Structures are given as C-alpha cells and as structure tokens.
C-alpha cells in the first residue's frame, strides 16, 4: 500500500513492491497530499491503473503499470527524502523571479502554476511523463530548448515553463484563464473550443485551482 504525504513516498522506503492507484489533493493552504485510499471526493486520481513499485539497492525507485506500457522513474532523493513545498517555494523564489523577469510573465502566476503542477517538487513525475517544477512534457521541453534530462533542473524548468506561459498569454490576448487552460490541455484544445476553456473536468479544475493560488 502506498501512502504519500506532501510528496513523500513512504511506501518506497518500507517496501520493495506495491500495488496502488494514486490520488492527489491540494489543500487550501497549498499543501499537497497523495494517497491510495482517498478519504473524500476532494482527491483526484492521478495514476489510473494499478502500478508496481520497486526500489533498487541503490535507493532509486521505478514505477510500472501492470501492462508495462508506462514507466516512471523517481530519483533516489525523492524516494528517500521528504520535502516541504513551503521550504522549496522559498528556495526557488529567486529562480522563479528571474524567469518571470526574463520572459515578462507575472511572478505570481508562475508561482501559482508551479504550486498546482508540482507543489515545488523538482523531481515530480506525472503519469503522462511530465517532469519537474513546471511539469514539462518532452515535446514542450524540446520546443523551448530544455533537454529531456534537464527537466528536473529547477532553473531550466522555470525557463521553459515561463517561456511557454509567455507564448500562451500572447496567443490568447493576455487572458490568464485561457493561458492556464492551454498550459494544462495544450493550446490546440483551447482553440478547438473557440478560445474557451475546454470542457474537460481536469482542465476546468486545474484552471480554478491555479487562479485560486494566483489570487491568493
């Protein structure tokens, strides 16, 4: 059984193999919780298939779904260390401010997106392969000059994510809602629905979440 609190993969420390669906909840104060037994409907399932978790002798962890079609690799640091989103927010605030300044994006918006995407965990890996503080997909990373292996680098992730947000804001006439929706679902999805937030529950929830962080 996997129990995860604020990004801490406790099961990876105490067991070599585990099966679980993983659910995520972001509290009003920005704390992020993960569990395989959601206590209420506020938790969203982020890994939709059963997975096998193995911890190697060197401390690194590997997650595979049963079909073997997906493979998520977690660093040793993530597998064996807890982290605080609040501490990391302060730790990376200078990098975030620099990226915001360099690419003309509201610093508060970058913080809001990072909070929703990774809760300031540079080693976060999504079920679909997004990685890092700003959860860059391989294609987005390549598009903005971030090497796939550098997506866990906070500075590189901030640069790539800030440039993408800048382009989305330009594309959608500075409409933050549409830019954020594009960040989640892709600009093509926003255009497909006549420059509106796509009717995807995940994207609609994501936009509401980011805007709540942004306004706060």
Residue carrying structure tokens 């906070």: 154
Local structure of 101: helix, strand or coil = helix
Question: CATH 1.10.530.10: which residues of the chain?
Answer: 86-215
Regarding predicted confidence, which is higher, 64 or 140? 140
Q: pLDDT of 127-156, one tens digit each?
A: 888 999 999 999 999 999 999 999 999 999
Q: Name which of 50-59, 127-136, 196-205 the model is least confident about.
A: 50-59
**Distances 25 to 18, 181, 205 between C-alpha atoms, Å:** 21, 19, 12
Evaluate if residue 15 carries a pLDDT over 80: no
Among 2.60.40.10, 1.10.10.10, 3.40.50.300, 1.10.530.10, name the CATH number for the domain at 86-215. 1.10.530.10
What's the pLDDT at 33?
A: 66
Q: pLDDT of 29-48, one tens digit each?
A: 666 666 666 777 777 776 65
Percent of the chain with pLDDT over 70: 66
Regarding predicted confidence, which is higher, 80 or 187? 187
Helix spans in 25-153 (H): 76-80, 85-91, 93-103, 107-118, 138-143
Evaluate if residue 52 carries a pLDDT over 50: no
Mean pLDDT of 118-125: 89
Evaluate if residue 18 carries a pLDDT over 70: no
Which two three-digit tokens encode residue 143? Answer: 């598009």
Q: Name which of 30-34, 85-89, 164-168, 184-188 the model is least confident about.
A: 30-34
Tell me, yes or no, if 215 is annotated catalytic.
Answer: no
Mean pLDDT of 91-102: 96
What's the pLDDT at 168?
A: 98
From 37, 90, 94, 117, active-site residue: 117
Q: Name which of 19-28, 91-100, 113-122 the model is least confident about.
A: 19-28
């Amino acid at each position: 059984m996997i129990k995860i609190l604020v990004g801490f993969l406790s099961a990876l420390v105490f067991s070599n193999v585990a099966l679980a669906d993983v659910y995520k909840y972001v509290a009003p104060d920005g704390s992020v919780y993960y569990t395989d037994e959601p206590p209420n409907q506020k938790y969203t399932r982020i890994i939709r298939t059963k997975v096998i978790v193995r911890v190697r002798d060197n401390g690194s962890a590997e997650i595979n779904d049963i079909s073997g079609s997906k493979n998520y690799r977690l660093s040793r640091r993530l597998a064996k260390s807890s982290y605080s989103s609040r501490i990391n927010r302060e730790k990376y605030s200078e990098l975030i401010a620099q990226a915001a300044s360099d690419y003309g994006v509201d610093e508060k918006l970058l913080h809001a997106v990072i909070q929703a995407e990774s809760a300031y965990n540079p080693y976060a890996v999504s079920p679909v392969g997004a990685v890092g503080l700003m959860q860059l997909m391989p294609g987005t990373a390549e598009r903005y000059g971030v090497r796939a292996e550098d997506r866990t680098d906070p500075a590189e992730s901030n640069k790539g994510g800030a440039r993408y947000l800048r382009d989305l804001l330009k594309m959608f006439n500075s409409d933050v809602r549409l830019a954020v929706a594009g960040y989640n679902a892709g600009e093509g999805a926003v255009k497909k629905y006549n420059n509106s937030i796509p009717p995807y529950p995940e994207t609609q929830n994501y936009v509401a979440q980011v805007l709540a962080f942004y306004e706060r």
